[in-house]
Amino acid sequence: MPSRLHQKALESLGTRIVDGVLPAGHIMLAEDLESELGVSRSVVREAVRVLQSAGLVQSTKRVGIKVLPRPTWNPYDPLVIRWRLRSSGRGAQLRSLTEMRVAVEPMAAELAADHAPEWVGEQLHDIANKMRATGQDARRFQQLDVRFHAVVLAGSGNEMFAGLHDAVAEVLTGRQEMGLIPAHPHEEAIELHLDVAEAIALRRPAEARETMNEIMRATIDEIHQEWAGTPRSDAGF
């Protein structure tokens, strides 16, 4: 199956569902999608399988492919996050993920300082020093930032925290694509990352937690206007 065609079908359907162009309850037929998207039945089936795994659709014989309401979507699925960040709901998505990070990442840093093997602190130091050396390369800085936070989450020893890596990576990448990350990395942000690495390496859990909290709070200060006035709902959408 040509991956380009699969990606084309998946992106077309996913983005339209998430943005409400294809509303909850809408029924699609595989043969219609073949014609509309210019792809084969096998490509449609594979795209629908991915959408179904993310909770966006339900495929039923003799009925068709039904678009499901937002509460059924998997809010941690990287594709759902990516599509929401590109949609009219990006403010709500940024808020949800940022608040989750504020709640989780300081604790992850504390746990890493308590329990992580020695190499975790060494690797974090190495990544933070590379972040400093990126100069004006914002994209490279963002890639290293994704890696830094992934190591902290994994270093916590909590598999549920570690499993949030893809969600965090999507929001960091999305912020870069949307121009919500400074063109030139702030020296203060780099120093805070170095401080987190040092606190974890030196087994200082309270310091690791507090410094990571500073990073998270600075993130809120940078982007909170993106969700100003966005209403909340029980489902988090």
Amino acid at 45: R
Report the chain's mean pLDDT, rounded to a whole number.
Answer: 93
Rounded Cα distance, 182 and 189, in Å: 11
Mean pLDDT of 95-118: 97
- Compute the radius of gyration of the chain from its Cα atoms: 20
Identify the pLDDT of residue 179: 79
CA distances from 71 to 24, 82, 86, 163, 216 (A): 10, 17, 19, 21, 27
Query: What is the fold of 78-227?
Result: Four Helix Bundle (Hemerythrin (Met), subunit A) (1.20.120)
**Percent of residues, the chain, with pLDDT higher than 90:** 81
Rounded Cα distance, 201 and 112, in Å: 9
Give the start-to-end residue ranges of the domains of the chain: 3-72, 78-227
Mean pLDDT of 142-151: 96
pLDDT in tens, 42-74: 999 999 999 999 999 999 988 999 999 999 999
Is residue 9 within 8 Å of 33, Cβ to Cβ? yes
pLDDT in tens, 12-29: 999 999 999 999 999 999
Which residues, in sequence order, are bridge partners of residue 67? 57
What is the CATH number that goes with domain 3-72? 1.10.10.10
pLDDT in tens, 77-102: 999 999 999 999 999 999 999 999 99
Mean pLDDT of 126-139: 88
Residue the block writes with tokens 């309401």: 69
Mean pLDDT of 152-176: 94
